[in-house]
Amino acid sequence: MGYYLVPPVYRPPSEAASLIFQVTLGCSHNACSFCVSYKGKKFRIKTWPEIKADIEAAKVFYHNATRVFLADGNAMVAETGLLLKVLDKLYHDFPYLERVGIYARANDILDKEPEDLKKLHEAGISLVYYGLESGSDRILKMVHKGATVAQIIEGGRKAMDAGLPLSVTVIIGAGGPELSEEHATATAAAASAINPAYLSALTMLIPEGSFMDRKLKRGEFKLLTPMQSLNELKIMIEKLSLTNCVFRSNHASNYLPLKGTLNQDREKLLAFIQRGLANPDLLRPEFMRAL
Ligand code: SF4
C-alpha cells in the first residue's frame, strides 16, 4: 500500500511544507459552531499498523523530510503509547527530521499525566497547536468549544510545564459586535495567563452550512466590520501581557497582516493597526480572505 491521506486534510499555515501523517481521522469533538472541517468524517484513532505502513510508504519518497505534522483535528487525543511509537519511528526513518507539530484540545492534555507530556516532548513533539478562540466563557459556550476558559488555560500551562511549546490561536469577532469588548479583554487575559511561545489571531469567517451560518442567516449573530475587527485586535494587543511571544495575524482570514514579538513590539503593532484604521485601502479585500 502507498502513502495516502484520507481527505479532507487540514494543517496550520506554518505547516504548509510539512509531511503529514494522520494519527486520527476527523476531530473527536467535531462540534465547534464555526467549523465544518470534519463534518462528514467519522472520528477514529488509526491503529499502529496503519500508521506504521503510512510512514514506511512515505519514507521511500520523502526520506529528506525535515518537518512532520500529525493530523487530523486533534491527534493529541491518541493514547501516549501510540504517539510515542509514532515519534520514535518518525525520527528513526526520517534522519533529517527536525520538528513534529500536532493539534491538541484542552481535554487531550488534561487527560494525560504530566510525565506522559514530558515523554512526548522528549520524544520530539516540538509544537502543539492549541485553540483558545476566546477568553470569555460566554463566547466559548456560544461557539460550542466544549471547554471552559479555565480548562484551556490549565491545559496550556500543563503542556508548557512539560516543555511542550504552544502555538495558541484566538478568533477575532468570535463574540460578534455586541461582545467585542468583552472578547478582546477576556481573550487578552487568558492568552496572557497561558503565555505561549506563539499567538495567532484569525478573523471569524463563517463556512456555509455551519451552525453559525444558520445563526447568521436568522440574524442571531453578526460578523464584525473590518474596522470593528481592527478595533477588537487593537484592544487585545493593548491588554496582552506576554514574554517573548511571537504574535501573528498573517492568516488569510485577517484584514491586516501583523507580525511581532510581544510585549516588546506592542507599540509598533498598534501603530500599524492605527494606520489600517485610518487608511482602509491597506486592508485585505473581502474576496481575498479565506480560511
Ligand atoms: S476542535 Fe477544531 S477541528 Fe474540532 S470542531 Fe472545533 S475547530 Fe473544528
Residue 291's pLDDT is what?
59
Residue 289's pLDDT is what?
62
Q: Residue 177: CB partners within 8 Å, gap ≥ 6?
A: 222, 224, 225, 228
Report if pTM > 0.75.
Answer: yes
Q: How far is the centre of ligand 1, averaged over its atoms, from the C-alpha of 87 (Å)?
A: 23
Mean pLDDT for 101-122 is 98
Q: How confident is the model at residue 4 (pLDDT cuts 50, 70, 90)?
A: confident
Q: How far is the centre of ligand 1, averaged over its atoms, from the C-alpha of 61 (Å)?
A: 31
Q: How confident is the model at residue 290 (pLDDT cuts 50, 70, 90)?
A: low
Is 253 a residue whose pLDDT tops 90?
no
- Ligand 1 pocket check: which of 35, 39, 171, 205 to mutate, most ligand atoms within 8 Å of Cβ? 35
Q: Tens digit of pLDDT for each residue in 158-209?
A: 999 999 999 999 999 999 999 999 999 999 999 999 999 999 999 999 999 9
Does residue 30's CB lie within 6 angstroms of at least one atom of ligand 1? Answer: yes
Does residue 32's CB lie within 6 angstroms of at least one atom of ligand 1? Answer: yes
Residue 214 CA to residue 208 CA, distance in Å, equals: 8
Q: Residue 76, SS3? A: helix
- Atom in ligand 1 nearest the alpha carbon of residue 145: 6
Residue 250's pLDDT is what?
72
Is 284 a residue whose pLDDT tops 90?
no
Across the chain, mean pLDDT equals 95
Backbone angles phi, psi at 121, to 5 degrees: -65, -50
Say what the alpha-carbon torsion angle 100, 30, 176, 130 is, to the nearest 10 degrees.
Answer: -20
Residue nearest to atom 5 of ligand 1 (CA): 30
- Atom in ligand 1 nearest the alpha carbon of residue 37: 8
Q: How confident is the model at residue 58 (pLDDT cuts 50, 70, 90)?
A: very high
The string over 258-280, giving b where at least 16 C-beta atoms fall within 10 Å of a residue's C-beta and e elsewhere, is bebebbebbeebbebbeebbeee
Residue 238's pLDDT is what?
98
Q: Tens digit of pLDDT for each residue in 126-158?
A: 999 999 999 999 999 999 999 999 999 999 999
Does residue 106's CB lie within 6 angstroms of at least one atom of ligand 1? Answer: no
Alpha helices by DSSP H, listed for the chain, are 48-61, 80-93, 106-110, 114-122, 137-142, 149-161, 180-194, 211-217, 226-239, 266-278
Q: How far is the centre of ligand 1, averaged over its atoms, from the C-alpha of 30 (Å)?
A: 5
The proportion of the chain whose per-residue pLDDT surpasses 90, expressed as a percent, equals 89
Q: How far is the centre of ligand 1, averaged over its atoms, from the C-alpha of 26 (Å)?
A: 9
Residue 245 CA to residue 242 CA, distance in Å, equals: 6
Q: How confident is the model at residue 287 (pLDDT cuts 50, 70, 90)?
A: low
| Domain annotation for the chain: domains and CATH numbers | 13-278 (3.20.20.70)
Residue 255's pLDDT is what?
77
Does residue 73's CB lie within 6 angstroms of at least one atom of ligand 1? Answer: yes
Is 43 a residue whose pLDDT tops 80?
yes
Residue nearest to atom 6 of ligand 1 (CA): 32
Does residue 37's CB lie within 6 angstroms of at least one atom of ligand 1? Answer: yes
Q: How confident is the model at residue 18 (pLDDT cuts 50, 70, 90)?
A: very high
Q: How confident is the model at residue 285 (pLDDT cuts 50, 70, 90)?
A: confident
Q: How confident is the model at residue 30 (pLDDT cuts 50, 70, 90)?
A: very high
Q: At 133, which helix (H) or strand (E)?
A: strand 125-133
